[in-house]
Amino acid sequence: MQRHFSMLREFHLADWFTLANAFCGTGAIFAAMRFLHEGVVADLLIGMALIPLAFVFDALDGRIARWRKVASTLGRELDSLADVISFGVAPAALGYACGMQGGWDWLVLSYFVGCGVSRLARYNVTAETLSDGGDRVKYFEGTPIPTSLAIVIVLAVAVWQGRFGEALWFGVVQIDPWQLHPLVLMYALSGSLMISKTLRIPKP
């Protein structure tokens, strides 16, 4: 007989750390929305602070899974879904909140999220091949999605210096029919590196 919340009862310790990662990413998105609604800069900074915390949880869940030897397909899928939120959607939402709100900005931010989703999907379907028959993947194809933490750090420095909104670094250019904030191009670079097939990074 199935009990209520039976799925949660089957979660391993590492899975709860993965969910904590997703919780931080979701909180960052809500913080960005709250800033856009009320204009309190502290909310934006809190949202940005949650991304490094998500990074910590993301690093710990893998270590705990290996320590307890409970790695599973469910855990891998959970990890990817949490990473999409914390290192894909959340950084894009924070960038939008910082002032990247032109039409071209929307396209670049959406491209960034799409690259992150694609990168994680590719990793999940090729993990067995990349491990060469072993238990662990030996290298990443393209940069891992948590590297988007670097973008959030850049944004946090900008916000700390008051360089957001109309004062965003590098200003804004009009490329008919929409506006583009040059700073958004760091999202384009990050996304492109994530989906690279030739860039191989050894996995620690």
pLDDT digits (tens, 9 = 90+) for 41-99: 999 999 999 999 999 999 887 777 666 566 666 777 888 999 999 999 999 999 999 99
| Averaged pLDDT, 127-141 | 62
Q: Is the pLDDT of residue 164 over 70?
A: yes
Query: pLDDT tier at 127 (50, 70, 90 boundaries)?
Result: low
What is the structure's pLDDT at 92? 98
Asked which of 48-52, 134-138, 188-192 is least confident by mean pLDDT, the reply is: 134-138
Q: How far apart are CA 124 and CA 99, in angstroms?
A: 34
Tell me what pLDDT residue 21 has: 96
Nearest CA to 28 out of 7, 44, 13 is that of: 44
Question: What is the Cα–Cα distance from 136 to 158, expressed in whole angstroms?
Answer: 38
Convert the pLDDT of each residue in 107-119 to its tens digit. Answer: 999 999 999 999 9
User: How many separate domains does the chain show?
Assistant: 1
Q: Look at residue 30 in the predicted model and tell me its pLDDT.
A: 98
- Residue 38 is assigned to a structural domain of this protein: yes
> Considering the domain boundaries, does residue 52 fall inside one?
yes
pLDDT at 2 over 60: no
What pLDDT is stored for residue 9 in this prediction? 56
pLDDT at 191 over 90: yes
Residue numbers of the domain that contains 69: 6-202
Show the CA angle centred on residue 127, arms to residues 124 and 128, nearest 5°: 125
Nearest-angstrom CA–CA distance, 194 and 143? 5
Average pLDDT, rounded, for the chain: 88
CATH number at residue 192: 1.20.120.1760
Domain presence at residue 1 = no
Pick the more confident residue, 159 or 137: 159
Give domain status of residue 14, yes or no.
Answer: yes
Please check the confidence at residue 7 and state whether its pLDDT lies above 70: no
Q: For residue 125, what pLDDT band results from cuts at 50, 70 and 90?
A: confident
pLDDT at residue 93, rounded to an integer:
98
Token output for 72: 């599973």
